[in-house]
Structures are given as structure tokens and as C-alpha cells.
Amino acid sequence: MQRSLPPSDPALDQDAVTLHEAVSALVRVYQFRDRDRICCYDISVTQCQALKNLVDSGPMRAQALAETLFLDKSTTSRVLEALERKAYIARQPDPTDGRAQVVTITNAGRALFAKITDDLIDQQRAVIEDLDPEARRAAIEVVTRLHRLAEARFTSGVSVGPCSPSRLTAPAV
């Protein structure tokens, strides 16, 4: 039995299509920028994100870090092994559970993350320098709100989960 969709609002539908195209294009550009700029420092974008999460949240267990990165345990383990080899993170026994380990960022990791962040911020400055201050603040507010709304929706499971077969197959003719 096929579920019926709520009544459509043509203006909202068109805005959703336009927003999808704009966000997809922006994400694609930033993925290439991040890959090109961050990899200059001999770490991956995912490794850089792990460093960011450790800077922002402090020491944490690998499982908690995996959750913040939206990665499985084995992928997170490989990310941490690479960062540990380069001395950007350290693992220590968890004081509350000797079987577990806590991941911390080292001074070298913190310095590298600061250098990468400064580089990326310089690039942002160049992107927005021609916008007037009001337009810059409005853009920041919209992007921030979209991030919060999308994160709340996508990480809560509302629109994530098994694909609906009706969306994957062409309608019967």
C-alpha cells in the first residue's frame, strides 16, 4: 500500500528544489576546497574533523568520537591510528573504566588544527570580502539556521532510515 503525500505547495516545492541545488553546489565546492587545502597538511578531511571535535569537546572515548563523526568504529579506529602515528592525538586509559581508552589531542595536533583553521578562515575572508556587512551577517544567520534545522532533522532519524521502495522505482505505466 502506497502512502499518500501531504498536499503540495508549489512555491515551497520550487524553493526546496532551488535550495537543494544551491546547497549541493556549495557543498561540492567546499568538499574540493577542504580536500585540497587540508590535505596539504598531510591529513585527511576526516582526520581534521576528528581534531576539531577533540578541540571543541575535549578528551573523549573513541566510540563517542565515532558518533560525532558519524562513522563506524572500524573507520574511526583507522582515523585515530593515523593521527596517533603522526603524534596529533594520544590515547590513555579511561580513569573510570580501565578497559576503555580516552582520546586526547596533543599540542602538535592543536597547533596543526589552528594552522589549518587560520588557512580556511583566510579563504572565507576572501569569499565574503565583497559583501556588505549586513549581507555577511544575513548569510551567516541563514547558513547557521539551515545547519541547526538540518542537523536536528537528520540526526534525530526523522528523514534518515531505510529508503522507501516507492521512491526508488519508477511508477508503473
Single pTM value for the model: 0.78
* pLDDT for residue 173: 46
Q: Which residue has the higher pLDDT, 8 or 2?
A: 8
Model confidence pLDDT, tens digit, residues 9-33: 999 999 999 999 999 999 999 998 8
- Comparing 1-15, 41-55, 58-72, 98-112, which segment has the lowest mean pLDDT? 1-15
pLDDT above 80 (res 65): yes
Task: Write down the mean pLDDT value for the chain.
Answer: 88
Residue 159 Cα to chain centre, angstroms? 17
pLDDT tens per residue across span 126-152:
999 999 999 999 999 999 999 999 888
Residue 7 vs residue 21, higher pLDDT:
21
Exposed, middle or buried: residue 113 (CB in 10 Å: 0-12, 13-18, 19+)? Answer: buried
